[in-house]
Structure 1
Amino acid sequence: MSLSLRLRRSADPGPHQHGGPIRVDARTKNLTKRLRPGDVAVIDHVDLDRVSAEALAALRPAAVVNAAASISGRYPNLGPEILLGAGIPLLDGVGQEAVAALKEGDVGVVEGNTLLVRGQVAATGTRQDADTVREAMEAARAGLAVQLEAFAGNTMEYLKRERDLLLDGVGVPEIRTRLEGRHALIVVRGYHYLEDLQALRHYIREYRPVLLGVDGGADALLEAGHQPDLIVGDMDSVSDRALRCGAEVVVHAYRDGRAPGLERVRDLGIEPVVFPATGTSEDVAMLLADDKGATLIVAVGTHATLVEFLDKGRAGMASTFLTRLRVGGKLVDAKGVNRLYRSRISGVSLFGALGVALLALLAALQSTPGGQVLLQVAWARWDDLTSWVTGLFT
């Protein structure tokens, strides 16, 4: 038996263990870029949100180890339920010191409340199950009032900082992409974005909206077979392929002008537009579409419910909430468009058009000698066919 085969067998977890190569990253969305099925995902994510959990679950890790509390009790976040529902073990609250000592690529095994590396206990936490998650969710729901009070205070602070932008559009940069009088489809790689894009394919083909990808939303558009017209974001989760696709790029910068993603875009030979603003890139994209005259803004994968706002954290809630108040007259969720949208060509009209075309063809054939001969041959063949069918039954 080869040495590599013996090592693999010795590292195989037992029937009640879950293990594989360790992948460590404090930012969950960075980790998912290199996570593979069977790996042990090690994260540091307080209140694991739905989008992050769905991204992890889709990659089928052997287990997820969280340095922080996956449910802190601030609000009833949905991430832990999603992981457990997918059959992925969740070891919670192991601490940042234990995570810092782990080495990328080492084989880790989750056994009970512990993470073992080379047979030694590397971290200890709380193994979550359906009962512990249910209890934590009930406690979190009881504390929602506190979070809403914090949200109200944060909303006022954001309004003071960005009232000129929200009320008068001061600070919105000029772009070359024309949105005046057109629909804008804003895609965020968030809640059910794949299903929404699939459901909107007829709408996109018929109305040809301006396709605006927010960071990784540009990759989502490409994966669905669409060409983005605009890419907006801080450029932390969009691929080089998307940035090079020919779309106009708008880099979301901090209010003081700092833009961490600007250098990366320029290194690709692209000169972007810079949009300094407080809030999220999702909000910046909506404000940009509204200011430039889009008649309708269709949102894919964005946040719409109270729990989804809370999933962004209190700091992100205020900008999201106020932005939706600002563009509310134009904003439609993708699911609403899918339910209300019908093709402008009805079935009756389609059959009527086919009938008219057939009559026009028959009239054209009847008006020429060659066409008359062709019609006579066609009628003869039809008579032969009807006679043959009649003969089968007589």
Structure 2
Amino acid sequence: MRLPTLRRNRNSEPGRVLGTARLDRRTKRLVGRLRPGDVAVIDHVDLDRVAADSLVAVGVAAVLNAKPSVSGRYPNLGPEVLIAAGIPLLDDLGEGVFERIREGDQVRIEGNTVFAGDEPVAHGNLQDAESVGKAMADAREGLSVQLEAFAANTMDYLRQERDLLLDGVGVPDIETQMQGRHCLIVVRGYDYKADLDVLRPYIREFKPVLIGVDGGADALVEAGYTPDMIIGDMDSVTDDVLRCGAEVIVHAYPDGRAPGLPRVNGLGVPAITFPAAATSEDLAMLLADEKGASLLVAVGTHATLVEFLDKGRGGMASTFLTRLKVGGKLVDAKGVSRLYRQSISGSSLLLLVLSAIAAMASAVAVSTVGKAYLGVVAEWWDNFVFQLYRLF
């Protein structure tokens, strides 16, 4: 395999990458601690696009993955995103990388080897466009197996949560009023920043209930809004956003266990739980639907089969059924953006204003009243110039 050219940061030399190591087995939790030029050490089999997009957005110097970035189960999109951004991806390093590299260590990547100081600490597979493309092609050959598994998961979820899906059994009582209102549900998923940006006119006009799903609440705050509700397992929303005054609903397992509840209670934030086997974004949709929302606008949620499989969780089968349940009032953000996209550019608007001024000037010049006003203005100007001459 031809080794790719490693992208350089300001501390790097040709053929190698230097950076400060930041480690976490959960990629989305790690992203909050990363800084531009860091080396991200992750434990993420079948790296998905959302995780890769977040690493690219931070500006990491390289990604070290203890697991294979493409296992072959399905064609996940994350590795292609990193390679296209020029970020070196060294994967299948093994579990030992988390023992040999510590948080804050200065690491160096040369070819397939990771060094801490002068000591080689791990060897892996340095991916490039060719190797990732081949792995993706192999994964597509087994896609039928994943589709069968997805269908089986869908039926299992339907049997387990049919009362919630059909009759809303288990939906908690909430304080936020949704009856007859629009609800904007934001997930930190695909293209969420661009979608939020084009939705500004819609938000300003309709003032929807703003629901942030975990890190989606931070996305709302970053865009200049305050969420009305935060729902999720609370593993990627920041403490400051949890304290913003939004109503907090903690996603719990079907048996009632809610791992995120102690963290919320520790911050002194009141919260209620919503036990269900669905994903947090599904719970947000089902909750808003059950509480009488007239329209659900989704930002960053999963909408296609490719996105369901790329997420790589059996629980994504619930999203398919949830969309069937609320489909009559669900609108994807990209559809709303097409309705509200501004078609007049700034230069066109300036030309329109100048044309209007020219038309008004012409009308004044040819009308009788206009000529009289022009005469008065001309006389005033002559007097002004005469007074200047007298002064100097």
2:172 is the alignment partner of 1:152? no
How many Å separate the matches in 1 of 2:221 and 2:97? 39
Q: Which runs of 5+ in 1 are unaligned?
A: 1-10, 344-376, 390-394
- With normalisation by structure 2, the TM-score equals 0.84
Equivalent residue number for residue 307 of structure 1: 306
Equivalent residue number for residue 172 of structure 2: 173
1:361-394: CA deviations, max 9, x gaps?
A: xxxxxxxxxxxxxxxx9996554458999xxxxx
Equivalent residue number for residue 254 of structure 2: 255
1:195-234: CA deviations, max 9, x gaps?
A: 0011000000001111111111111111111121111111
Contact 1:99 1:123 in 2 (8 A): no
Q: CA RMSD in A?
A: 2.1
- TM-fit CA distance, 1:267: 1.9
1:386 to 1:174, Cα distance in 2 relative to 1, 3 A: farther
1:102 to 1:209, Cα distance in 2 relative to 1, 3 A: same
Question: How many residue pairs were aligned?
Answer: 346
**Amino acid of the structure 2 residue aligned with 1:309:** F
Secondary structure of the residue aligned to 1:96 is coil
2:296 is the alignment partner of 1:286? no
2:335 is the alignment partner of 1:336? yes
Equivalent residue number for residue 122 of structure 1: 121
Q: How do 1:179-198 and structure 2 match up within 5 A? A: 179-198=178-197
Secondary structure of the residue aligned to 1:326 is helix
1:17 to 1:330, Cα distance in 2 relative to 1, 3 A: same
Contact 1:188 1:300 in 2 (8 A): yes
**Amino acid of the structure 2 residue aligned with 1:29:** K
**Amino acid of the structure 1 residue aligned with 2:166:** L
Contact 1:193 1:301 in 2 (8 A): yes
How many Å separate the matches in 2 of 1:287 and 1:107? 46
How many Å separate the matches in 2 of 1:195 and 1:387? 56
- TM-fit CA distance, 1:35: 1.1
Q: How do 1:1-394 and structure 2 match up within 5 A? A: 13-341=12-340, 382-385=374-377
- TM-fit CA distance, 1:91: 0.3
- TM-fit CA distance, 1:284: 0.5
Contact 1:150 1:314 in 2 (8 A): no
**Amino acid of the structure 2 residue aligned with 1:166:** L
Contact 2:279 2:316 in 1 (8 A): no
Contact 2:201 2:340 in 1 (8 A): no
Report % sequence identity: 66
How many Å separate the matches in 1 of 2:60 and 2:379? 66
Secondary structure of the residue aligned to 1:121 is strand
**Amino acid of the structure 2 residue aligned with 1:246:** G
How many Å separate the matches in 2 of 1:20 and 1:331? 44
**Amino acid of the structure 1 residue aligned with 2:64:** V
